[in-house]
């Protein structure tokens, strides 16, 4: 009986956590998806801009506190989820695939996602808290580890989206993890070589463009310049020590200042039916996957979710 009670508590805690995300204020800048329709402990498919729904979540706040939603572990989980989804949203822009001549398949989407996670990961492992006790794990390291936990959880769902047998999901996940590890090690050579542009370009050619070095020189140069720019930007943001730069605590919204994704900022469009990417934006809507790997859509303002792609994505 005790294991069953523990399991029920975990399920309830997970559902309550997801419901809390779905109740976020409409002006919140984070873009973490709410649960799919008809899932979770609560009915999560509602418009958070409506006063009665805000009052409803406030009424159930006590259960979130009871389930430990606001403890230290949950806080790290929430922050890492916000950071991870910032990477997902940036990597799901169609301009990457058009500019780099990439097919929008699983390999390409995963490679671009890993690239963005790696950019955040590099800054987190370099962030240090001044005068921190030696017996306490640095918060930057904790957040970095949690970031990869979110990555593998989401990767499992993405694998299910490929309609593979459930019995082979773990096997596929292990293969993707090994590929991702090799990809990150290749990117790390950029720092090991003291910022040698060639090492980063070669890693991008092999792991993102899936070609031999120099096979796609213009696309390689384009993405290499993008990565170098984003590394410099993130260097100024993910800082823990006090000073004029943004502290780590300011990342709770997950609103990372990503630059334009390989496109002229004045020429970026979200309504692009040529691609169907996980996390892609369609006007005021984004796509997402539920735990079974089934695609759904959610509204960035109301948090309302739908199984069907909205016909008028501007609303």
Question: What DSSP assignment string belongs to 12-29?
Answer: HHHHHHHHHHHT--TT--
Of residues 171 and 254, more confidently modeled: 171
Residue 210 reports pLDDT greater than 80: yes
pLDDT at residue number 125: 84
pLDDT digits (tens, 9 = 90+) for 165-193: 999 999 999 999 999 999 999 999 999 88
Q: DSSP letters along 252-310, please?
A: GG-------SSS-GGG--S--TT---TT-EETTEEEEE-TTS-EEEEETTT--EESSPP
Please tell me the pTM assigned to this model. Answer: 0.80
Residue 141 is predicted with a pLDDT of 85
Percent of the chain with pLDDT over 90: 46
Residue 241 gets which letter from DSSP?
Answer: S
Which comes out higher in pLDDT, residue 15 or 176? 176
Distance CA 305, CA 188 (A): 38
Residues 6+ apart with CB under 8 A from 67: 9, 12, 13, 16, 17
- Reported as a pLDDT band with limits 50, 70 and 90, residue 249 is low
Which range, 151-160, 245-254, 275-284, 296-305, is most confident? Answer: 151-160
The residues facing 296 across adjacent strands are: 288
pLDDT at 169: 97
Positive or negative torsion for Cα 276, 82, 118, 147: negative
DSSP secondary structure of 110-143: HHHHHHHHHHHHHHHHH---TT--TTS--HHHHH
Cβ contact 305:285 at 8 Å? no
More confident residue, 67 or 161: 161
Q: Domains of the chain, with CATH numbers?
A: 68-129+137-261 (no CATH), 279-314 (2.20.70.10)
Residue 297, pLDDT above cutoff 50: yes
CA distance 234 to 79: 16
Instruction: Judge whether 113 and 88 are in contact, CB under 8 Å.
Output: yes
Confidence of residue 4 (pLDDT cuts 50, 70, 90): very low
Higher per-residue pLDDT: 281 or 255: 281
């Amino acid at each position: 009986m005790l294991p069953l009670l523990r399991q029920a508590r975990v399920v309830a805690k997970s559902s309550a956590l997801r419901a809390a995300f779905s109740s976020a204020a409409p002006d919140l800048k984070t873009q973490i998806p709410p649960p799919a329709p008809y899932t979770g402990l609560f009915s999560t498919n509602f418009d958070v801009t409506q006063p009665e729904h805000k009052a409803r979540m406030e009424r159930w706040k006590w259960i979130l506190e009871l389930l430990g939603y606001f403890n230290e572990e949950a806080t790290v989980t929430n922050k890492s989820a916000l950071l991870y989804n910032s990477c997902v949203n940036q990597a799901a822009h169609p301009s990457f695939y058009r500019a780099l001549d990439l097919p929008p398949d699983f390999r390409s989407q995963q490679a671009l996602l890993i690239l963005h996670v790696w950019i955040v990961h590099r800054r987190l492992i370099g962030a240090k808290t001044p005068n921190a006790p030696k017996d306490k794990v640095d918060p930057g390291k904790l957040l970095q580890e949690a970031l990869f936990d979110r990555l593998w959880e989401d990767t499992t769902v993405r694998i299910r989206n490929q309609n593979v047998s459930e019995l082979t999901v773990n096997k596929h996940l292990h293969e993707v993890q090994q590929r991702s590890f090799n990809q990150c090690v290749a990117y790390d050579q950029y720092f090991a070589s003291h910022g040698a542009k060639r090492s980063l370009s070669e890693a991008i050619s092999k792991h993102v463009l899936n070609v031999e070095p120099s096979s796609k020189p213009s696309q390689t140069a384009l993405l290499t310049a993008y990565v170098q720019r984003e590394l410099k930007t993130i260097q100024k943001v993910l800082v823990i020590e006090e000073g004029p730069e943004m502290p780590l605590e300011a990342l709770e919204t997950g609103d990372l200042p990503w630059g334009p994704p390989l496109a002229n900022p004045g020429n970026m469009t979200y309504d692009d039916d040529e691609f169907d990417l996980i996390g892609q934006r369609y006007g005021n809507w984004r796509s997402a996957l539920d735990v079974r790997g089934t695609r759904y859509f959610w509204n960035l303002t109301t948090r309302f979710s739908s199984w069907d792609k909205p016909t008028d994505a501007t609303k």
